[in-house]
Structure 1
Amino acid sequence: VSKENFYYGLLSMLLTQAQMNDNKCSEAISLLEVVSSVPEHKHLHPESLLRMGLCYEKQNDVEKAKQYFERVTREFEESEAATQAKNFLRYLTIKGNA
């Protein structure tokens, strides 16, 4: 299946959720990078960027997590993912890692 195919994007998002649940964030990040770079999957970009931030936070790379959360809020400010990213940024601030 071509990376531009609609189902590739949807299935990739399902797979990355399973990978994140299994603490396989490196694999999830690799796939999320593909999804977030394909113009045909623009509708999935906010969620894929949010998930990358979550994975980096899970891997204790707080600076990288912040970069992705900030990118979601900047590039997709009206999205649900941006609202969640703002909450995670607040959490990181409260946690003392920001």
Structure 2
Amino acid sequence: MMNLSMIGIASSFFMVFCGLWSFISYHKHLLNSLLSLEFMMLGVFWLLSMQTAGVGSEIYFSLFFLTLAACEGALGLSLLVFVVRSHGNDRFMSFNLLEC
């Protein structure tokens, strides 16, 4: 019988692989890509918190990781706002590489 920690580890790997699949499949809009990256980061955070829960008092590393993931999300949203203001939409096909 599987214990609860194995189910948590399996669900975190499932979250990471679903995020990777959505990142590869739905790459037409920048917002879809950012959401799938955040979903992968949440899966990695869940795996990290499940692994450090067995060690004991090593919760500070997972809080540091969560802080970096929040900063990454804020940076992605600011880039999304900049792209929508400059190009009018967030589709990757409308970006011109020659435009400054």
TM (norm. structure 2) is 0.39
Bigger relative CO (Cα 8 Å, ≥ 6 apart)? 2
